[in-house]
Structure 1
């Protein structure tokens, strides 16, 4: 089942190389991806799909297309295009760092270190956190962290490993600790976002930007936490991160609906109109696969996680994969239900994590969050 799903995804990717040209897919409208000239926070996912496709198949067409995206990311950083946010890890881990991991290309390595330096500009020493969005001192976003940032931290851990400079790792660990303390609730659910006083770092309140309500659990946010804390454990071996990843995963998989693909928020009222988020199920599956890498054979959580992955991935394949020549891999992702932005469409990150989970299940190929 995994192999067939991979082959279908690679077939669509080959078609998409021609369809997209030098543009980058973001989310879809009427089953067609909206393209941009490498200006969105999501553009690394297309690069990551191309690298995974090449690593799995060995087809040089995927390699050539992936290398072209890295050239675009080099221009983006040189021209400082749309980089004033924390999603630098999403952009460069899956593009230039992927090229370094696969090809040991020195220029790709140096570009990725440059990207880590850009991310470090988001560090706010007064508050001791990485600011998610906007310029320093912004009245709404100046003191805000969001759970998504956990997937950007691997860029900093990696930068310390390859440069020998501890500053990147120190910032990543401080931010991971803060996220664990304030974004993860006592019942193992999560806030999407948390606010701090910009001058003192005093915690103010939890909230949401994309979830159903401030106190609800946005499913994609929960999945970012699953994968993000598991990756922080890989780099630091801090057992608290692995424990937290397992807790978040248990909360997620215990709440799967009948078809095993989650709704957009665990607290949203469920009716015939309630939106799904297939991308959250894909991310959670990929994150749970990472957790399994660190569990002993007799760990009591192993069987539960394996069952959750099996249910989620089977549910995606059976009920949510797109037609043969479609642009996206999985249907019914949601970008921003609250904001009315692509609430029931293809998401390029959903496609990426779906393929990442599949190739890990089939061939043991992981993504490009670590070497």
Structure 2
């Protein structure tokens, strides 16, 4: 099953190279066509990551050549500082230039990734002791905000510390992971999407949401970021609290899945026949579960539960949510949701959903770990 699904994804990605040209896919909107941009959105690294995964699976140079072109675009984006006033630098550069470094040992790609890590480091707010998610420093609305998504941006800092031997990257990444553990994960192992702090003192103000159902609800994609993000922080720090936290938020995710093992957009949203799913959240969570499993002993009491859940989630995505029998489809996963409350890209393709779906398939079939760490 996994091999067939990967080969379908490779073929669709090959077709998309011509369709997309020099542009980058984001989400689809009320249809089957991806919206494209000039590499100015937070999601553009996922297209690069898919190209690198397809190259590693197929060894077809068309994927390598296109992926290299995207890295050139990311160099230009950093040089010109094009829409980089946010924390999603890790999403952009881990899957583009860092992937190139990991595959080709290209020194220019390594240097670009280190420059990107420095760009993310500039988001550190010394007074509050956190990485600011969005907006410029001292922004009255966004200045005190962290969000759970940032956990997937931290691997570029862990990598930069390993590459350079400079502890400043590691120190910031650990501080952010710890702040996320303390304030974004609630007592019942659910999660806030965002949390606010006083910009001057660092005093905690409270949790909220940006894309979830309510401030106190559990946005499923945020919970999935927590599963994978804390597992990745454990990989780089070997701090048992991060693995424990990853396991806790994973159990919450699994226990609240519907019968077909693919999540709705928020675990607290009222469920009826019209409630949107978010297949992308389930793909992310599957990657996170597989990462957790890689750190568990064979006799760990949670291992079997996580393995069974990951397989059921991926089988359901392949059987019920993929575009395997749709030859001309641009996306790999249907029924993703970007921003339900904002009425933005509901029941559509999400490029990050496609990326994590392919990464999870590659983990299952090839034991590939993605491009988050070497």
Q: TM-score range by the shorter chain?
A: over 0.9
CA distances 1:47-99 after superposition (whole Å, capped 9, x unpaired): 00000000111111111110000000000000110000000000000000000
Match of 2:176 in 1: 175
Take 1:259 and 1:175, find their aligned partners in 2: how far apart are those partners? 34
Take 2:57 and 2:297, find their aligned partners in 1: how far apart are those partners? 27
Is 1:271–2:303 an aligned residue pair? no
3-state secondary structure, aligned to 2:190: coil
In the TM superposition, 1:1-371 aligns within 5 A as 1-29=1-29, 30-322=31-323, 323-371=326-374
Take 1:356 and 1:189, find their aligned partners in 2: how far apart are those partners? 25
3-state secondary structure, aligned to 1:243: helix
Q: CA deviation at 1:138?
A: 1.0
Q: CA deviation at 1:324?
A: 2.3
Let me know the Cα RMSD of the aligned residues: 0.5
CA distances 1:115-165 after superposition (whole Å, capped 9, x unpaired): 000001100000000000001111111000000000000000000000111
3-state secondary structure, aligned to 1:264: coil
Unaligned runs of 5+ in 1: none
Take 2:360 and 2:169, find their aligned partners in 1: how far apart are those partners? 28
Take 1:59 and 1:318, find their aligned partners in 2: how far apart are those partners? 27
Take 2:308 and 2:188, find their aligned partners in 1: how far apart are those partners? 22
CA distances 1:243-299 after superposition (whole Å, capped 9, x unpaired): 000001111011111211100000000001100000000000001110011000000
- Higher mean Cα deviation, 209-218 or 248-257? 248-257
CA distances 1:185-234 after superposition (whole Å, capped 9, x unpaired): 01000000000000000000000000000000000000000000000000
Q: CA deviation at 1:171?
A: 0.3
Take 2:269 and 2:197, find their aligned partners in 1: how far apart are those partners? 27
Q: CA deviation at 1:336?
A: 0.1
Q: CA deviation at 1:355?
A: 0.1
Take 1:256 and 1:170, find their aligned partners in 2: how far apart are those partners? 35
Q: CA deviation at 1:239?
A: 0.1
List structure 1 segments (4+ residues) > 6 angstroms apart after TM superposition. Answer: none
Take 1:72 and 1:88, find their aligned partners in 2: how far apart are those partners? 14
Take 1:290 and 1:259, find their aligned partners in 2: how far apart are those partners? 22
CA distances 1:288-323 after superposition (whole Å, capped 9, x unpaired): 110011000000010000011011101101110122
Q: CA deviation at 1:105?
A: 0.2
3-state secondary structure, aligned to 2:347: coil
